[in-house]
Amino acid sequence: MNGFNPLKEVIDAIPIPKGRLTEVLRVEGMSKVFQQKHHTVQALKNIHCTIYQGEMVAIMGTSGSGKSTLLNMISAIDEPTEGALFLFGEEAHDIYQEPNASKFRKENIGFIFQSFHLLKDLSVEDNIALPLILNDLPSKDIKVRVQHMMEKLNIAAWAKHRPSELSGGQKQRVAIARAVIANPPILLADEPTGALDVNTTDEILELLVDLQKNMNQTILLVTHDPYVATYANRVLFFHDGAIVDSYQNQQTAEDLDCILAKFKLITRGDL
Amino acid sequence: MAKSNGWKEAIFITTQHVSLVQLAQHGDEQAFYQLIEQEQHKLYRMAYVYVQNENDAVEVFQQTIIRAYEGLPQLKEPHYFSTWLTRIIINVCKTYIAKKNTVQLVEPHTLEDFTSTTPTYIEEELDLWHSLCKLEEKYKTVLLLRFYQDYSVKDIAAILQYPEGTVKTNIRRGLQALRQHLKGAYIDEWVQSVERGH
Residue B102 has what pLDDT? 62
Residues of chain B above pLDDT 90, percent:
36
Q: At what angle do helices A168-180 and A139-152 cross, to 10 degrees?
A: 130
| B148 → closest Cβ in A8, A52, A213 | A8
Choice among B10-14, B17-21, B144-148 with the minimum mean pLDDT: B10-14
pLDDT tens digits for range A169-222: 999 999 999 999 998 999 999 999 988 888 899 999 999 999 998 888 999 999
pLDDT tens digits for range B50-85: 999 888 899 899 889 988 988 898 898 888 899 999
Q: Is the pLDDT of residue B189 over 60?
A: yes
Q: Is the pLDDT of residue B104 over 70?
A: no
Residue B2 has what pLDDT? 46
Q: B187 in contact with A at a CB cutoff of 8 Å?
A: yes
Residues of chain B above pLDDT 70, percent:
79
How many Cβ pairs within 8 Å bridge chains A and B? 88
Tell me how far apart the terminal alpha carbons of chain A are, to the nearest angstrom. Answer: 61
Residue B13 has what pLDDT? 61
A11 CB neighbours in chain B (<8 A) are: 45-46, 49, 132, 144, 148
Architecture label for domain B9-106? Orthogonal Bundle (1.10)
- Which of A7, A46, A210 to mutate against chain B (most B CBs within 10 Å)? A7
Residue B115 has what pLDDT? 45
Residue A252 has what pLDDT? 83
CB atoms B190 and A5 under 8 Å: yes
Residue B164 has what pLDDT? 95
Residue A125 has what pLDDT? 94
- Give the CA distances from residue B89 to residues A26, A180, B13, B31, in Å, rounded to whole numbers and listed in that order: 22, 33, 23, 20
CB atoms B44 and A252 under 8 Å: no
Residue A127 has what pLDDT? 95
Which of A224-228, B7-11, B189-193 is predicted most confidently? A224-228
Question: Alpha-carbon distance B41 to A6, whole Å?
Answer: 18
Q: Is the pLDDT of residue A70 over 60?
A: yes
CB atoms A1 and B189 under 8 Å: no
Q: Is the pLDDT of residue B108 over 50?
A: no
CA nearest to A232 within chain B: B59
Closest CA to B159 of B97, B89, B109, B96: B89
Please name every residue paired with A32 in a beta bridge, in sequence order, or none if there are none. Answer: A44
Q: What domains, with CATH codes, occur in chain A? A: 23-267 (3.40.50.300)
pLDDT tens digits for range A240-269: 999 998 888 877 888 999 999 999 888 875
Question: Alpha-carbon distance A48 to B66, whole Å?
Answer: 12
Q: A26 in contact with B at a CB cutoff of 8 Å?
A: yes
A52 CB neighbours in chain B (<8 A) are: 62, 65
E strands present in chain A = 23-35, 40-52, 56-60, 82-87, 90-91, 109-113, 186-190, 218-223, 234-239, 242-248
In the predicted model, what is the mean pLDDT of residues A51-80?
A: 91
CB atoms B58 and A17 under 8 Å: yes
B117 CB neighbours in chain A (<8 A) are: 15
- Which of A21, A209, A231 to mutate against chain B (most B CBs within 10 Å)? A21
Question: Residue A66 corresponds to which amino acid?
Answer: G
- Alpha-carbon distance A7 to nearest alpha carbon in chain B (angstroms): 7
Question: Alpha-carbon distance A248 to A191, whole Å?
Answer: 20
| A15 → closest Cβ in B62, B99, B118 | B118
Mean of all residue pLDDT scores within chain A: 90
Q: Is the pLDDT of residue B173 over 80?
A: yes
CB atoms B66 and A11 under 8 Å: no
- Alpha-carbon distance B5 to nearest alpha carbon in chain A (angstroms): 22
Q: Is the pLDDT of residue B107 over 80?
A: no
Residue A78 has what pLDDT? 92
CATH code 3.30.540.10 for B123-198: no
Instruction: Give the pLDDT band of residue B113 (cuts 50, 70, 90).
Output: very low
Instruction: Give the pLDDT band of residue B105 (cuts 50, 70, 90).
Output: very low
- Alpha-carbon distance A194 to nearest alpha carbon in chain B (angstroms): 27
- Alpha-carbon distance B103 to nearest alpha carbon in chain A (angstroms): 7
Choice among A91-95, A142-146, B66-70, B180-184 with the minimum mean pLDDT: B180-184
Domain ranges across chain B: 9-106, 123-198
Of residues B65 and B119, more confidence is placed in B65
CB atoms B58 and A54 under 8 Å: yes
In the predicted model, what is the mean pLDDT of residues A163-171?
A: 93
